[in-house]
Structure 1
Amino acid sequence: MNASKFLVLAASLLMSATAFAAGAHSGGHGTGSGEPGKASEATRTINVEMHDNYYEPESIDVKAGETVRFVVQNRGQLVHEFNIGTPSMHEAHQKEMQMMVEHGVLKGDHIDHEMMEMDMGDGHSMKHDDPNSVLLEPGESKEIVWTFTEKADLEFACNVPGHYQAGMYGDIDFE
């Protein structure tokens, strides 16, 4: 590779990594939809199963001000995400998740955790650690505790490339 192509590639990777880290993976895509909650304040627990391109349940009812503990299990054969946010947040996050595929972090049925930790420049990584989201390999289970601070246009979704488009999202309805 000649020097000019290398510099263009390096600059684009650095810009992408900076944009990536400035998005979901440092500030969280849940901004505006609520905030991390305290487990001791959760009023109920909702079990969520992720299957290959659908969730059980398909929709969730919440109240403004309510703190909910989500126990999320990946029952599918692929890596899946449970992410609470607005439709526009999911659209932006899908681009970041595509970058994770392009860089070899997401590999269909598993996550390359070593690549996820890799320094993408300026101390940023592809670590997926937002409080409103979990990224799970098949068989894994994790929890999210979330306080829905006010009524908003929200949904939960899997933003792994192609999954949202295949129907892997559900509505969060306010009572």
Structure 2
Amino acid sequence: MFLRKSLALAACVLALSSPVWAAPASTYDFGQPAPASKATRSVEVVMGDMSFTPKAIDIKAGETIRFVLVNKGQLLHEFNLGDAAMHARHQQEMLQMQQSGMMTPTGMMNMDHGSMAGMDHSSQGHAMKHDDPNSVLVEPGKTAELTWTFSKAANLEFACNVPGHYQAGMVGKLTVSQ
């Protein structure tokens, strides 16, 4: 009986100390996704291995930008819009994706891994997949697009949150002015 109660208590402590998986944010205070047809201008961003060109982008509040993302590197890269805190949170998600085997250095495995053992977070409304509207993954040699309307002035970053890439310098400054 004592052992059963001890095991039950240990299970409760583990459950309470485990990370809570929240549903991805559907709104962003700095703007929202937009169709490419609404873009007021296009900005090409070249992804090298551990670099972005340009390193800084200036935007006016209210602008809709079509980012054309060209991966000229040998590795999988991400273009993600947000602030430093958002990137730090997303880096943890990306690390879990890598550790689960759904992300390799050069690409993604099957995108919907909600049923993977130990990775089923659907009961909390968030299956492990890369589908945030402020982010796109680009495989080596490929081109992708992300179109975004910036609603207000903000100091943001565009970054690659593939494990280790942000820390290696794959981050740029995105200034949205009035």
Task: Please tell me the TM-score bracket, short chain as reference.
Answer: 0.7 to 0.9
CA drift at 1:118: 1.9
* 1:43-76 Cα shifts (integer Å, max 9, x gaps): 1001111110000111111001100001112111
Q: What residue in structure 1 maps to residue 113 of structure 2?
A: 118
Task: State the distance in 1 between where 2:161 and 2:105 align.
Answer: 13
Task: State the distance in 2 between where 1:38 and 1:137 align.
Answer: 22
More helix by share: 1
Instruction: Give the TM-score normalised by the residue count of structure 2.
Output: 0.80
Work out whether 1:133 is the aligned partner of 2:135.
Answer: yes
Q: What residue in structure 1 maps to residue 158 of structure 2?
A: 156
Radius of gyration: which is bigger? Answer: 2
Task: State the distance in 2 between where 1:103 and 1:75 align.
Answer: 26
- The alignment partner of 2:65 has SS state of strand
Which consecutive residues of structure 1, in runs of 5 or more, have no partner in the other structure?
Answer: none
CA drift at 1:39: 2.1
Q: What residue in structure 2 maps to residue 46 of structure 1?
A: 43
- The alignment partner of 1:153 has SS state of strand
Work out whether 1:105 is the aligned partner of 2:105.
Answer: no
Kept in 1: contact 2:150–2:176 (CA 8 A): no
Out of 65, 76, 85, which is 1:88 matched to? 85
More strand by share: 2
Task: State the distance in 1 between where 2:176 and 2:144 align.
Answer: 24
Q: What residue in structure 1 maps to residue 176 of structure 2?
A: 174
Task: State the distance in 2 between where 1:153 and 1:27 align.
Answer: 19
- The alignment partner of 2:107 has SS state of coil
* 1:133-154 Cα shifts (integer Å, max 9, x gaps): 1012111211111011001120
- The alignment partner of 1:117 has SS state of coil
Task: State the distance in 2 between where 1:136 and 1:41 align.
Answer: 22
* 1:146-172 Cα shifts (integer Å, max 9, x gaps): 011001120100001110010000001
Give the root-mean-square deviation of aligned CA atoms: 2.1
Q: What residue in structure 1 maps to residue 25 of structure 2?
A: 27
**What's the % identity of the aligned pairs?**
48
Kept in 2: contact 1:33–1:86 (CA 8 A): no
Of 40-49 and 77-86, deviating more is 40-49
Which consecutive residues of structure 2, in runs of 5 or more, have no partner in the other structure?
Answer: 1-6, 115-119
Kept in 2: contact 1:61–1:174 (CA 8 A): yes
Kept in 1: contact 2:38–2:64 (CA 8 A): yes
- The alignment partner of 1:27 has SS state of coil
Which structure 1 residue ranges, 4+ long, deviate > 3 Å from structure 2? none
